[in-house]
Chains A and B, each alone.
Chain A
Amino acid sequence: MSHPNPARLQDRLDGALPAGESRALDAHLSGCSACARDFAGLKAAAAAFAAVPVPRLTRAFNRKVLAALRPAPYAAWAAGAAGALCAAWTAGVAWAVAVYGRPSWAGLAAVGETALSAAAKAALIAAKLPLARSAGLLLTDAVSVLPSLLAASVLAAAVILVLGRPTAAARRKP
């Protein structure tokens, strides 16, 4: 048998050779000191790695993962807050319409989209994430929603001012 290439030596080490080929290779190794030395080197590297200790985590890790899996206890509160936000927004729009007249469909759509987006995000966060992380994300999300709310307000106001017809009550104001 000719000298085996390193890949075959590795296959032998990993038990990936058929039995017949393994026997032939072993026979060669027993009579060839150069190949036997190469094979011993591979085995020694494998043994060295296997001797390195395996790091461990404590069971406190389990508690952290399981706590993160449970639904957030304030989910109902968050959903209520989102509902209240939407209700307040709707009431504000209704008041604006009553005072300044009916805005365009584009203005209403912008307001509705913003309110729905805020509610959906709040519900998503509340349902899926653990308390501490959710609180941070909720705050971040609230801040990120503010520009949208402001933009929607400006748009709605512009639509109301440009297209809306002032009511009789508004016309009577000095």
Chain B
Amino acid sequence: MEDPTADAELVRRCLDGDEAAFEAVLDSYRDRVYALLLRLVRDPRDAEDLAQEAFLKAFRALASYDPGRPLASWLFKIAHNAALDFLRARGEDPAALDDPESGLDPAEPVAGIEAVLVREETRDRLERIVAGLPPLYREILLLRHKEDLDYRAIGEVLGLPEGTVKNRLFRARDLLKARLESAGEAP
């Protein structure tokens, strides 16, 4: 997890115009912001352009950063908003989460999942399965399982109440579980 004191010091140096501090921020958060954006927009080039846009927007608005909050969450929020604007401009509805397969009965057997996890081609298969999830499901799974954010922190990034975060996270896992089971049963 991040050190808020170190983040605050980095931001202070950035505000003083220290280019090394900007670079340190980029080194710390570049891949994480990019990963979030890639989960939302899928295309690597679009994700990189949006990452650049997000960092520039953040650097130009550093004076409004609250040093009491994690810098990562602030950057994720800016990136999340940039990606949603991008998707809407492209005519996509990032909020379209309803998926015909998401109404899975949680009591379904899960033996197939382990079968997928131990296969040789697991990584590619997992990547394809995850890529097939709705964008906002991919995003919330990343915030929880890669960034290790709790419900409250995820809610701050996404601008959602905790209850909505929990519901979305549950549906995302449910759908992922269903897709994994389906893949495990495939020949």
Name A's B-contacting residues (CB within 8 A).
Answer: 6-7, 10-11, 14-16, 34, 37-38, 40-42, 44-57, 59, 61-62, 64-66, 68-69
Contact = CB atoms under 8 A, between A and B. Distances in A.
B166 A41 contact: no
A11 B167 CA distance: 11
Interface string B103-116: 00011111001101
Given A16-B151, A38-B106, A45-B176, A61 B170 contact: no
A132 B19 CA distance: 21
Contacts of B59: 65, 69
Interface of A is mostly: helix
Interface residues of B, number: 49
A61 B51 contact: yes
A83 B153 CA distance: 50
Contact of B166 (A10, A15, A48, A54): A10
Contacts of B107: 34, 37-38
Given A14-B151, A64-B52, A68-B52, A47 B106 contact: no
B157 to A, nearest CB: 16
Contacts of A15: 150
